[in-house]
Amino acid sequence: METFLLLGTFVILLILRVPIALTLIVASLATGLYMNIDLATLIQQMVEGLNSFTLLAIPFFILAGEIMNEGGISRRLINFANVIIGWLRGGLAMVNVLASTFFGGISGSALADTSSVGSVMIPMMKKQGYDSDYAVSVTVSSSAQGVMIPPSHNMIIFSTAAGGVSIGSLFMGGLLPGLLLGIALLIITYMLARKRNYPKGQPVDKKDIPRILGEGILGLLTIVIIMGGILSGYFTVTESAAIGALYAFIITFFVYRDIKLTKMGIILKNTFKTLSMVLFLIGTSSAFGYLLTLLRIPALVADTLINISPNSAITILMIVVILLLLGMIMDMAPLIVIATPILLPVAIDVGMDPVHFGVLLILCLAVGLITPPVGTVLFVGSAIGKLPIEKTSKGLLPFYAVMIVMVFLVAYIPSLSLYFPNVFVE
């Protein structure tokens, strides 16, 4: 009865479109009251879920992304990508993919990527003759790909939920699959552009190229500083995030100088707003996860999956299907906290490395970000492009196919996720 109450309340509230954080806490409180659990215990679990030094890196990553976003980094990265690849057939669409890859490595947020790059690129692509559904599809799929490129605060959330998996290993584990997915998206973007005869990009004036490249590289150095500090061992993840935020502040306000220091108030407000949502989700997910463990639901799921088939390949397939389905109905952050303690033991039982599983989980949930009915990135992209969700989803079909292929490659070829960690971290 307790299990039915916990999961039933959760599903009903989810169907009623109650915000996910409230859904988690209401289901937890209702079940706790039924089980006569002291509610202070649930509050303690929420606090415990947030009581992690590692999580201190998240506000700095969010702050760095907000500073660079407000300071015009998205426009500079678009110009930078345009110099590299914009001259090809469908070049503007390919610039979109490349810029999202760069920006994802700075912000670590698919939603911020879509809002920032998409607000510039989607109207620009439509103006130059690209179909609206294609422009939105390119934007949201490449933004989802960006969460794989380090640094990613979602990897930090997974590390915490998994009990302390190396964040450096997770960052490096996501790098190769993220880059390969970006290349695959560039290929499908180019193929569709040729098939539909989209225009070539406008050539860049040669005298502007040094300035554009210099400004773009200055922005991308944020990633180098963060990853270099972590991999060299000079900084912890939190220290690297703080230094990255400081660098972003200096570059934005004293080098680019597109905005005044008075804008810092708005930047901090946006940072606190995003951070409060992320931390509230982590806290409520921790209370929900505590009850799942108390009711032995993870153990039940693990036994069920393993008993269905002794074949590890089949078990991995079931894990992938579960993650893809869950990603369609829940947001990424709470799902990481909830799904990790349930599915990670299953993955370890069939021989998966925790880093391999973490990369696979993030990639599957990235697909969910652009999949109806609850794909937040899909909604934002459709709103920017002024398109109904149904039309955008139809235009996304070729991009879905590419991403699903990449999911299965990551699932069944562990070296894609483990090669860089083994070389650079261990």
pLDDT in tens, 61-81: 888 877 877 777 777 777 887
Answer whether residue 115 is part of any domain: yes
Please check whether residue 118 is in contact with residue 380, taking contact to mean a CB–CB distance below 8 angstroms.
yes
Q: How confident is the model at residue 317 (pLDDT cuts 50, 70, 90)?
A: very high
**Which of the given ranges, 106-120, 290-304, 353-367, has the highest pLDDT on average?**
353-367
Give residue 229's pLDDT: 79
Mean pLDDT of 1-16: 82
Q: How far apart are CA 335 and CA 10, in angstroms?
A: 13
Nearest 5 degrees, angle CA 71-CA 73-CA 77?
Answer: 165
Please report the sign of the dihedral spanned by the C-alpha atoms of residue 344, residue 18, residue 115, residue 367.
Answer: positive
Give residue 359's pLDDT: 94
Mean pLDDT of 231-260: 83
Mean pLDDT of 17-30: 83
Place of tokens 């345009």: 82
* Ranges assigned E (strand) in 31-143: none
Residue numbers of the domain that contains 382: 38-424
pLDDT in tens, 159-199: 888 887 888 889 889 989 988 998 999 899 989 988 888 88
Q: What pTM, to 2 d.p., does this model score?
A: 0.82
Give residue 398's pLDDT: 92
Give residue 105's pLDDT: 63
Answer whether residue 33 is part of any domain: no
Give residue 108's pLDDT: 64
Mean pLDDT of 6-32: 83
Q: How far apart are CA 131 and CA 149, in angstroms?
A: 28
Q: What are phi and psi of 89, to 5 degrees?
A: -60, 130
Please check whether residue 144 is in contact with residue 117, taking contact to mean a CB–CB distance below 8 angstroms.
no
Neighbouring-strand partners of residue 89: 200
Answer whether residue 58 is part of any domain: yes
Q: How far apart are CA 290 and CA 284, in angstroms?
A: 10
Answer whether residue 24 is part of any domain: no
Nearest 5 degrees, angle CA 8-CA 375-CA 348?
Answer: 65
Answer whether residue 16 is part of any domain: no
Answer whether residue 289 is part of any domain: yes
Q: What are phi and psi of 214, to 5 degrees?
A: -65, -45
Q: How far apart are CA 258 and CA 106, in angstroms?
A: 18
Lowest mean pLDDT among 150-154, 361-365, 392-396: 150-154
Q: How many domains does the chain have?
A: 1
In whole angstroms, what separates CA 389 from the centre of its chain?
20
Mean pLDDT of 362-367: 91
Task: Considering only residues 43 and 296, tell me which one the structure prediction assigns the higher pLDDT.
Answer: 43
What is residue 200's DSSP assignment? B
Give residue 413's pLDDT: 95
Q: How far apart are CA 376 and CA 175, in angstroms?
A: 23
Q: How far apart are CA 169 and CA 122, in angstroms?
A: 35
Q: Tell me the residue type at 2.
A: E
Mean pLDDT of 149-162: 84
Radius of gyration of the chain (CA): 21
Please check whether residue 139 is in contact with residue 117, taking contact to mean a CB–CB distance below 8 angstroms.
yes
* CA dist list (Å): 355 to 148, 271, 332, 335: 13, 28, 17, 17
Mean pLDDT of 377-405: 87
Q: Tell me the residue type at 96.
A: N
Q: How confident is the model at residue 42 (pLDDT cuts 50, 70, 90)?
A: confident
Q: How confident is the model at residue 228 (pLDDT cuts 50, 70, 90)?
A: confident
Q: How confident is the model at residue 320 (pLDDT cuts 50, 70, 90)?
A: very high
**Which of the given ranges, 7-16, 168-177, 303-312, has the highest pLDDT on average?**
168-177
Place of tokens 């400004």: 215
Average pLDDT score, the chain:
83
Q: How far apart are CA 337 and CA 49, in angstroms?
A: 9
Answer whether residue 1 is part of any domain: no
Mean pLDDT of 26-46: 85
pLDDT in tens, 264-284: 888 888 888 878 887 887 788
Q: How confident is the model at residue 56 (pLDDT cuts 50, 70, 90)?
A: confident
| Percent of the chain scoring above 70 in pLDDT | 96
Closest C-alpha to 60, from 266, 253, 274, 228: 274
Residue 106 clears pLDDT 80, i.e. is over it: no
Q: How far apart are CA 344 and CA 340, in angstroms?
A: 5
The residues, ordered by sequence, that sit 6+ positions from 304 with a Cβ below 8 Å of its Cβ are none
Answer whether residue 11 is part of any domain: no
Give residue 155's pLDDT: 87
Q: Encoding tokens for residue 210?
A: 């040094």
